[in-house]
Chains A and B, each alone.
Chain A
Amino acid sequence: MHTSATCDRLRSAEGDGQERLDQLRNAIEHAAHLLPAQGPITVFIHHNTLHALEDLPFTQAVAQAARTYGCQPYLSEDRYREELSRGRIRTEDLFAVLLDDLGEEADRLIGFLGTRFHVRLSMLQYPLRLAPTAELKWLVAEADALLKFRDDAPAEVRQRTIEQTRHWVMRDLRNGRRPHGGGKSSPESRARAALAELSPRFRLSTAETWNEARWEAFCLHALWRVCQQGVHGVRSFGPPAGPGVRHRDALLAAGGEDSDRLVDELLIRFCAAFLDQGLANWALPGREAGFYRAFCRLYGQRGGPPERWLRGLRREIARGEAAGFGPLESIEESLELLGVSNSDQDEYLSATLLALRGWAGMLWQMEVRGDRVAHAAPRGSLVEFVAVRLILERLALAHVGRESLGYTGPLAGLAQAARARTAPAESVSIEQRTFLVFQLAQVLGWTPADLFRLSKDEWSRLVEELETFSSLERRRVFHVAYERHYRDQTLDAITIRARRPAARPARPRFQAIFCIDEREESFRRHLEERAGDVETFGAAGFFAVPMYYRGIGDAHFVPLCPVVIRPRHYVRETVVAPLEDLHRRRARTRRALGAAWHQVHVGSRSFTAGALLAALVGPLATFPLVARILFPRLTARLRRLAGELIRPPTGTRLQLERIAESPGPAADQSGFRVDEMAESVERLLREIGLTSRFARLIVVAGHGSSSLNNPHGSAYNCGACGGSRGGPNARAFALMANDSRVRQRLAERGLSLPDETVFLGAYHNTCNDSVSYLDLDRLPASHAAEFEEFRRDLDIARELNAHERCRRFESAPLALSGEDALRHVERRAEDLAQPRPECGHATNALCVVGRRARTRGLFLDRRAFLASYDPTQDDGRHTLLTRILAAVVPVCAGISLEYYFSYVDPEGWGCGTKLPHNIVALLGVMDGAASDLRPGLPWQMVEIHEPLRPIFLVETTPVAMHELLDRNADLGRLFRNGWAHLATLDPDAPEIHVFQDGRFERHEPALVDLPEVESSSAWYRGWRDHLGCALVSKGLAPAREPMPRGRERVA
């Protein structure tokens, strides 16, 4: 009886313990969603940096993230003001945004000083400075803050203020009482009392003799005094500054050392060793045992690091081992020792995780998406990381507490002790509040007389207005205005373009299908300008062929599809039979050379081999060194020539048709069944609306990018191919579409392709603007002439495209010829010293989903993703559109928002400048010698970007779009929470509706007409900055079938 009760109690205690541990694990895994979600840098997947907060409206989310991560939510105010003075933000946009914001409140008066709208507008237009109290006191007492109006106060305002004050003094103050009224509490008597304490210089009796300067000084002194009186005793409206939850924050505030610095230095080294994918030659011993065990084993031995703060480490580890602690028990104990209460626990844990968030995030990624790397991290690694971190943190805190505060008590009391020593955080002082009103008064022309008339209530309202319209709010308003300008301009342009006919060429000479990527916009435009009867289409660059692909010279299968899809099919490239011998020989040579080169690579860092290499071949390294840096393009060509000898033969085939029943990586499992091929082909053709008027030659072009010395190279590749190069997808698609059995199946499903139509795969390198054609040897002789013609046109388009790109590169002269432009971009791709091989997705801002005919001939400045979609071919449930948007929106919004965040805070969200980057563990980059892992985009990549939320313009009706948003939760969330703008282009009329606050509202274009130029180059040449839209007459399709009021019926 007795024993069983004890057992029960024990069991229940055990159960409680287990529950508590589970709760800890959940808390950590829940906090993990705040960590950066970037995987290994070799497969760079663009995603919304704040994906974790997408459930919140955009503005709330960025404000919350700014607090959680300590990063900037928008550009700086100064930067926005610069844009305002440059005309990039228009004053009327500010008006509109403020009016929207305030609604009815806009006209509410604050005292007699003006409306809320008025006050807020001035706060936007004029920078209000704030400084520490001591500095303000100095400014007032010593500098000329009370002698001269601020420089940016408009001259007439200044003049009027002084003049009125002068009148007021002479009339009301000096001459005693007014004719009637005015007792002791009249404004004048209050003013007299207040001004009496001013310095003797301003004795009112001498006022008649004052010169201009003295009147100005008096005016300002009076203003300062009245503001000071006014704000006195008004309660504070600013956000209370919350202290950090961690002990380290309290210590740091108390002037102690940063304990994180100690912990991080050790932990960075250990994390990198634990996660290393093969950079080090000697891997961490015992890493299979997991993070916590490996750490304990390594640091639990004798004779450890001599640093004072680490002296207790071995004892701690031994104690934990003796008590049989696992990671969770250890965390529990650490929290207890640190005195973290249950209510603070979640916040403490997430703050602990975020302290080294790059590494913690990578650990979590390796844990949950281990399929992407050679050495994954076992489940539970993140929890173990927290356990280790807390042990180290305890040691570091005890050390810093002892060294800088002389504190030796229990850790739980450390934060308290530190706070006791910190001077209380200064709340906003009276001088600071005075200074705000004082500055605003100068630009708005509030005279001392006006201000003396305000009641205490009115003062309170004024201060509230000022303090609640904080920097964050001001920047939000600026940002919305900034976006609004681009949105209006672009939607106007598209409306105007849409008024023009939108016809497909009756008999297209060629058709070309590109990726939706905004870098292909200019390429398509130039091709269209070159040949009026060419038709181009945009589709997500995996061309409906999701697969794992392994090329003839590749070591591994690589997934080629958007990251949300896990492909089922494997495709191998094989060499054609007659070349098999050659291929085997060359593969052997490559293998031998590769192995030898690997030996050199490893050996050059070793003792003996390194010495031999350095002394014997070292001097020879001068040649490649000098050649590659001074003549990158030539060197690259020589290297290519030499490489010819060992390259896999060019005569290869895709093993596209599967023999075995189920797909898999084995040789006979490679490829698709004919049904599956037909499905892919039909899917793509229907989505882009290419179901009739087929040209004889249809080129399908995937894209990718090549560059050197660029750890972020993968981020330049095709986003729809998961950060890889999309050539194989284009090739596979063309092969499938050419297959007669596939065509037969298609015909059975009502999509018949004429026999003379031939598809051809191609690959566009967006960095050097080269295009290679795939399976050209399979092109029927009947189409050779067409192909030659196409190639000629495309070559010219390549040159023009390179030329248009070069306008963005400061190192390319503006007066470059097309040929030189091509040479310039080729050089960039091969230059070791080039941190900006291409501009990537920078400047992207728009995504158009609709018929190309509606936007063709419109210069969109390489800023628009263009997905083809023909609403006239869709069914009543908008099946096609749903499918397209489900693929296009996450990819484009991910890219665009990642650029947004990496631009607004390059250090916080992005990975800063590329120059000190250091590849670590083959997973990511650090800054310099040792730092947190840096996810996000480097500054050089986003430098010319405009941080805007993307606009999605979909050719459909608002009703259809509403239905779609209701049906698809992800899309609905993204658009309803304002992470991206949404607008619809009416399929039948030149009308755009903009989605705002859950409603579609008609967009009224302000522009009447667009500039019209003959060709794109006539519009962009000589200009480096962003350009507005223009109509390009060469690109507007030959209007053989003008679109009437009604819809264009496709045959």
Chain B
Amino acid sequence: MSVESNSMFAPLGACVVAAPAVLLAVLGLAALGGRRLTESAVNRLTQAAVILGLAAALGVLALMLHLDTRHVTLELGEWVSLPQEHFHFTVKFVFDRLSVPFVVLSYVLCGTIGAFANSYLHRDPGFNRFFAFYAIFLLGMVVSSLAGTIETLFAGWELVGLSSALLVAFFHERPSPVRNGLRVWSVYRVADAAFLIAAVALHHATGAGDFDGLMGADPWPEGHAALSPGQALWIGLLLLVAAAGKSALVPFSGWLPRAMEGPTPSSAVFYGALSVHLGAFLLLRVSPVLEASAWLSVAVVGLGLITAVFAAAASRVQTDIKSALAFASLTQIGIIVVEIGLGLRYLALVHIIGHACLRTLQFLRAPTLLHDLDTLENAIGEHLPQVPGFWERVLPVPVRLWLYRLVLERGYLDGGLNECVVRPFVRLFRWFDRLERRWTDFLARQPSRDSDHVPPPTRFENW
């Protein structure tokens, strides 16, 4: 790589990351400072950031094609370095065949959604809040797409998780968005914990979180993991849990339809298009690890297959358009995960991109469903046929009923998690609480909790 081209990569690459960061800083600081920007100012800022970022990303792509390089890194310095512990922590961005398409996709879809949301949320009291979350999301997507170390990826991953949970709970005046937002957040926490342990383990195994250190020097997707099969299996399984949480694979699928609480454009971009693919992206990024362990690949394929089959069946019985689309998305993500497990990396990448675009369009058009179906009925000239699928015809009635209930109840996944994970967890902590109360009561020699005696709030509607 020549020096001058390298010097052009740096500003362009920095632009790709800086554009959303500046957008977030401006929108966030304005909100913190209590200054309410006008809708048109927010719109112009967003547009500028997206166009700048997208142009820079395309510039990098053009330059890479021109110079025929497949791997460009951009280092923002070493933040922590403990040589004797073999630990160092760098912020590093990578432009390669995986990250560039992904970052371009993020920009295109986010830009379109930004334009859409600008008129869709016009005059909504939460307009500025929406765009602040949007900026967090965009930054998160860009950082995770380009991340060159597992810590950087984690940072982007967290930003995406945060903005997603906040957007699910966007209409925080009603209880159910907040409840569901919290649910999404909890599932993400589990995924994050797995991710974090995987990152630590990776450091432990290889001394650094850099993907190129981990996968070898070859550009994606040709790397080879410098891990033993045993290490690869454990780290890979942890990463698989992380990906499953983020991409709503079984058994975490319950949160995906619940996430449809936010405004239509946020459901489109977050759960239809970008956010749910992040798990698959993670698996793609670490795909050399999968190669290192056959068992791991089997696990990935199995999980993807189960998810896809379950989601395809669930999608057939959903009676509201957003849940139907959510499960349809999940079907494809399951298939994408299978492809990754089988090592079909380019196919998986193309599948992700195509699926994201298609589903975004479908989500954005969800409210026009009645109109579309009417048009179709008029073209066909009769009520649309509701043809039962193959399995729905051949299975014996009791099995059919059983299966129908299973998928109508969304595979009992939420209930199962509630009973098997949440309940024991809550019981344990309630037990701790009782223990603590006994202690404090004992020490205070009287009931020690004032909060037990707070009367319910009085309501003053008639005043």
Q: Which A residues are closer than 8 A to B by beta carbons? A: 41-42, 128, 130-132, 238-239, 253, 255, 269-270, 272-273, 276, 278-286, 297-299, 301-308, 310, 374, 422-423, 425-426, 470-472, 553-556, 587, 590-591, 593-595, 597-598, 601, 604-607, 610-611, 613-622, 624-626, 629-630, 708-711, 713, 810-811, 831-836, 907, 913-922, 926-931, 943
Contacts and interface: CB of A to CB of B under 8 A. Distances in A.
30 contacts: A130-B460, A238-B462, A269-B319, A278-B384, A279-B320, A279-B324, A281-B317, A298-B404, A298-B405, A301-B398, A305-B412, A308-B419, A471-B461, A471-B462, A555-B378, A587-B381, A605-B327, A613-B358, A615-B354, A618-B353, A625-B357, A832-B116, A834-B119, A919-B321, A919-B369, A921-B319, A921-B320, A926-B320, A928-B262, A931-B176
B296 to A, nearest CB: 23
Interface residues of B, number: 111
Given A130-B463, A622-B108, A929-B259, A273 B317 contact: yes
A927 B108 CA distance: 28
Contacts of A604: 328, 358, 362
Among A238, A616, A929: residue with most chain B CB under 10 A: A929
Among B327, B356, B368: residue with most chain A CB under 10 A: B368
Interface in B333-359: 335, 347, 350-351, 353-359
Nearest to B419: A306
Contacts of B405: 298-299, 301, 304
Interface string B168-205: 00110110110010000000000000000000000000
B258 interface: yes
Among A283, A624, A833, A927: residue with most chain B CB under 10 A: A833
A607 B312 contact: yes
B385 to A, nearest CB: 8
B370 interface: yes
Nearest to A614: B355
B147 to A, nearest CB: 24
A605 B331 contact: yes
A139 to B, nearest CB: 15
Nearest to A831: B119
Interface in B275-315: 308-309, 312, 315
Among B263, B308, B419: residue with most chain A CB under 10 A: B263
B392 A833 contact: no
Nearest to A607: B312
Given A282-B404, A629-B364, A553 B312 contact: no
A907 B419 CA distance: 34
Contact of A922 (B325, B373, B415): B373
Contacts of B80: none
A242 to B, nearest CB: 12
A630 B112 contact: yes
Contacts of B308: 607
B406 to A, nearest CB: 8
A920 to B, nearest CB: 4
A272 B317 CA distance: 10
A45 to B, nearest CB: 16
B401 interface: yes
Contacts of A272: 319-320
B379 A590 contact: yes
Nearest to B410: A269
Contact of A621 (B115, B357, B397, B398): B357
A708 B174 contact: no
B366 A554 contact: no
B116 A607 contact: no
Interface string B104-137: 0000100010011111111110000000000000
B354 A616 contact: yes
B441 interface: no
B283 to A, nearest CB: 17
A873 to B, nearest CB: 42
Interface string B76-89: 00000000000000
Interface of B: 108, 112, 115-124, 170-171, 173-174, 176-177, 180, 257-265, 308-309, 312, 315-325, 327-328, 331-332, 335, 347, 350-351, 353-362, 364-389, 392, 397-398, 400-402, 404-405, 408-409, 412, 415-416, 418-419, 423, 453, 455-458, 460-463
Contact of B384 (A276, A598, A622, A917): A598
B369 A307 contact: no
Contact of A833 (B116, B317, B360): B116
B462 A919 contact: no
Contacts of A595: 380
Contact of B328 (A605, A618, A619, A811): A605
Given A593-B379, A928-B180, 6 more contacts: A280-B318, A280-B319, A282-B316, A307-B418, A555-B382, A708-B368
B368 A709 contact: yes
A299 B408 CA distance: 11
Contacts of B264: 915-917
Contacts of A918: 260, 320-323, 366
A598 B332 contact: no
A608 B387 CA distance: 17
Contact of B351 (A591, A615, A709, A713): A615
Given A606-B315, A615-B350, A629-B364, A833 B383 contact: no
Among B328, B370, B423: residue with most chain A CB under 10 A: B370
Contacts of B323: 918, 929
Given A301-B405, A598-B376, A617 B367 contact: no
A629 B112 contact: yes
A470 B462 contact: yes
A614 B365 contact: no
Contacts of B115: 629-630, 833
Contacts of A931: 176
Contacts of A598: 376, 380, 384-385
Given A590-B379, A614-B354, A472 B462 contact: yes
B311 to A, nearest CB: 9
A711 B367 contact: yes
Contacts of B404: 282, 284-285, 298
B120 A618 contact: no
Given A281-B316, A591-B379, A919-B366, A253 B332 contact: no
A307 B331 contact: no
A783 to B, nearest CB: 33
Contacts of B376: 594, 597-598, 601
Nearest to A594: B379
B458 A425 contact: yes
A913 B355 contact: no
A927 B112 CA distance: 24
B318 A917 contact: no
Contacts of B347: 615
A273 B408 contact: yes
Contacts of B316: 280-282, 605-606
A611 B315 contact: no
Contacts of B373: 278, 922
| 9 nearest A-B pairs in the assembled complex, by CB-CB distance | A618-B354, A594-B379, A928-B261, A605-B328, A614-B355, A915-B263, A272-B319, A920-B320, A618-B358
B9 to A, nearest CB: 26
B458 to A, nearest CB: 5
A422 B322 CA distance: 40
A255 B453 CA distance: 12
A6 B351 CA distance: 77
B317 A423 contact: no
Contacts of A625: 112, 357, 360-361, 364
Contact of A709 (B258, B367, B392): B367
B358 A617 contact: yes
Contacts of A917: 264, 367
Contacts of B315: 281, 605-606
A270 B170 CA distance: 27
A595 B263 CA distance: 31
Contact of A280 (B117, B317, B457): B317
